[in-house]
Chain A
Amino acid sequence: MAAINHTFTPINNTSAIPLEKIPVLAVDDFMQSILKSVQKSHRISSYFGVATDKIDTTLLYVILSDDDENRLFVGRTEITGGSFPSLTALCPQIHLFEREIAEQFGLQPIGHPWLKPVRYTRNKTSPVEPAVGDFYRIDGDQIHEVAVGPVHAGIIEPGHFRFQCNGEKVLHLEIALGFQHRGIEEALIGGPDKKTIHYMETAAGDTTIGHTTTYCQIIEALSHTKKTARAQVLSGIALELERLANHIGDLGALSGDVGFLPTASFCGRIRGDFLNCTGLLCGNRFGRGFIKPSGLGSDIDSTTVDTLLKKIIVLTKETKDAISLLWSNQSVMARFEDTGLLTGQQAIELGVVGVAARASGLSRDARLNHPSGVFRFFQMHTCTVDSGDVFARAYIRWLEIEQSIDFIIKQLTSLPDGSVTPSSNDLDKNCLSVAINEGWRGEICHVAITGENGQFVRYKIVDPSFHNWYALAEAVKNQEISDFPLCNKSFNLSYCGHDL
């Protein structure tokens, strides 16, 4: 077992290593090492291809997280020819990564049980089209198929859901995404330039701070600069404000989905108030333009700090009042409990991250497992609930809301002095850098590889939604189809974060 540490190269979160220090493994060794690592409860944070100068050669990189030991590993191998061995049958969490590699590089994952496009289909004659392909079908007189989307009622993003049902019971759900594909990863190659940070801010619009913070850490690692203590604390506050706004919005939406109005209305308003807090902090309600490499877009003066503190203290009480209505209402609890079960074992196998993982009893929180920025100095504790149902995913959010408010108040009252002005420096050449952060939805993993002139030859973004969409499909199996919207909301995954 000790051999694993030799085959894959350890790397610290938010750091960079020269490419020559990552040995190129033989394909079989590489694959066996991934399997062994996953058996040792490592997790695949990222797995992607990188094009090379030679037409029939592609490099595959893997980033593995060892959450228990707080370590990250990077490994790579070289694929020549048109195929590579698929590990999906033995390691389900890799299935979507393999489909992605197949789609982006035209490589065939040999032995993949369900190979179809992830985001788009591209052939020579037609333009790029969404990834709707063949769907898994169950035959039988009693079976009916329900197709939902891509255009939905309401204002949510587009995605297609294909249910196989027996009466009210869902036997199988297949989710087809890609309608939001904008080609962000392709556009980042050759960067960073003035546009890069704007792509990051909108990679997933509700996770602006999360993705931008992660990107900035990559740039800081590659350019040997860093944020001052003050800038780190403020960006940590922004990250937690983002978490608060989204978690509160989610609890309101969950409440609305079961038809419980008071919490739905109050939380909708309180979410807006927390967005306004971010607005007060940096001038934009979603935090756009705030986080910059090695600095911040703007600073905050002491009167604004006081105003912010006062607002948050008022909001804390209102939040508590609105959300505690949920836990004390039996009709709401009857809907939440035992709905949309995702067992801990399933969550481990599927590599689930974030709120959904913690709701299935897994202690996965990058703020604790792979801390960066202010979280290296301020220990967050990981909230877990074992039941794996909608209630667990709702309750985790509530626990995290309490913790985030606590964090923000503590940090705001002891804000360090210093400048927040960004500085810049040339990026290291031929390096790989990894940054992992806990966005409100879960683990955000960015990997950058620089080339001869210090520009990106590959920039890989993994949004937590990429890990978790399949878990949603598993959670609704054998549930009632009428509970699907509730399950969906309890995961609340991003379409654009997945589609990129």
Chain B
Amino acid sequence: MIQIFIHLLVLLIFPPLLPGVVNKTKALFAGRTGAPFFQLYYDIFKLMKKGMVISSTTTWVFTVAPVITLSCVLIAGLIIPIGNAPSCIFFTGDFLVFTYLFGLARFFTTAAALDTGSAFEGMGSSREVTFASLIEPALFFAFIVLVKLTGSLNLSGMVKAGSAIQYHTGSIASLVMIILGLYILFLAENSRIPVDDPNTHLELTMIHEVMVLDHSGPLLGIIEYASAMKFFVIGSILINIVISIFSITGWINYIVFIAGMLILSFVVGVTESIMARLKMSRVPSLLISSILLCGSSFIILLR
């Protein structure tokens, strides 16, 4: 019971800190002081108090989409395990639900973007779904590898701490490959450099940001919150796999998990600082490399 309580607490409160860490790291590299770690909390709080401007061309989809997105990400957040406990909800095949919850969220985000009738948002939607179709196979290959390794068909079993000890020798190579593949996927899903640039003001170059251009006030606040939570949820899969290589038990697991998430944010910040964004036409190559990494790790496992 206490573990469920901690799970909810971490899931609801912790995520907005992570983009703060990313931005602080980037500021450090650029020789700036940067915004405070807790900036996103302030931003969300500020947005929640504001009014909204809603275009008269939009329908109910536009207003509902951010709420659905947040709900999807929240439910997905209940499926992932945090610390030493299994997740709040787990059942056979829950990783399929996990994946398609993001699919549902994406459907509504793009539908809301198309609802505005803006040329920018149309372009953003087109990019988002194109790239998503390349991300999904990578995620499934990664899950298949985990299923094959652990024999479990739910996420809690698939990414359990210390489980890697029991794997046969050679499976670490597979794990490292899916970690790399999932890192690329993680950057793409969270619209980070080199796939997207969350800080740009150039509408023509945006992917995710451009789809929410017309949202304002509380709706934008919900979107920001959901984005931070998505960063946390997808990142936690990655961190859980890394943790599974080490044999850690008990409450210390929570500390390792939180530290892992902070380190992941730092690594994202470093990645964003040392490289430029890819040309849009090169992004699919990067995403396909993620499919190849996860796909070949499965092949290695079968040998």
* Contact call B276/A329, Cβ cutoff below 8 A: yes
Q: Which residue of B lies closest to A169 (CB)?
A: B281
Which residue in A154, A168, A259 is a CB contact (below 8 Å) of B277? A259
If A146-B119, A262-B273 touch, does A480 touch B279 (CB 8 Å cutoff)?
yes
Contacts of A481 in B (CB 8 A): 123, 204
Does A266 belong to the interface (CB within 8 Å)? yes
Which residues does chain B contribute within 8 Å of A334, judged by CB atoms? 276, 278-279, 282
B interface footprint on A308-323 (CB within 8 Å = 1, 0 otherwise)? 0000000000000000
On whether the beta carbons of B275 and A483 are closer than 8 Å, the reply is no
Q: Is the CB of B204 within 8 A of A482?
A: yes
Asked whether, in the complex, the Cβ of A144 is within 8 Å of the Cβ of B119, the reply is: yes
- B residues contacting the other copy or chain, number (CB 8 A): 32
Query: Roughly how many angstroms separate A499 CA and B201 CA in the complex, as a whole number?
Result: 25
- Return the CB mask of B120-141 against A: 1 if under 8 Å, else 0: 1011001100000000000000
Once bound together, how far apart are the Cα atoms of A146 and B126, in whole Å? 14
Q: Which of B30, B127, B274, B276 has the most CB of A within 10 A?
A: B276
Contact present for A259 and B201 (CB under 8 Å): no
Indicate if the CB atoms of A168 and B119 lie closer than 8 Å.
no
Assuming the contacts A145-B119, A146-B120, A148-B204, asked whether A483 and B280 have C-beta atoms less than 8 A apart, the reply is yes
Flag if A329 contacts B275 (CB, 8 Å): yes
Q: Are B202 and A153 in contact (CB under 8 A)?
A: yes
A residues near B24, Cβ cutoff 8 Å? none
A390 to chain B, nearest CB (A): 11
B199 touches A259 (CB 8 A): yes
Known: A148-B203, A153-B201, A265-B32. A260 touches B280 (CB 8 A): no
Interface size class on chain A is: 20 to 34
User: Taking the complex as formed, is B193 at the interface, i.e. its CB lies under 8 A from any CB of chain A?
Assistant: yes
- Interface contact B30-A480, CB-CB below 8 Å: no
- Bound Cα distance from A314 to B116, whole angstroms: 51
What is the CA–CA distance of A240 and B277 in the complex, to the nearest angstrom?
32
Residues of B within 8 A of A484 (CB): 204
Measured between beta carbons, the chain A residues less than 8 angstroms from B193 are: 259
Q: A261-B26, A261-B29 are in contact. Are A331 and B278 (CB under 8 A)?
A: yes
**Chain A nearest CB, measured from B101 CB (Å):** 29
Q: Is the CB of A260 within 8 A of B276?
A: yes
Known: A154-B201, A265-B30. Contact between A168 and B281, CB under 8 A?
yes
16 contacts between A and B (CB under 8 A): A153-B203, A168-B280, A257-B200, A257-B202, A259-B197, A259-B200, A260-B275, A264-B30, A265-B31, A331-B275, A331-B276, A335-B276, A335-B279, A339-B279, A480-B281, A485-B205
Task: Using CB atoms and an 8 Å cutoff, list the residues of chain B in contact with chain A.
Answer: 26, 29-32, 119-120, 122-123, 126-127, 193-194, 197, 199-205, 272-282
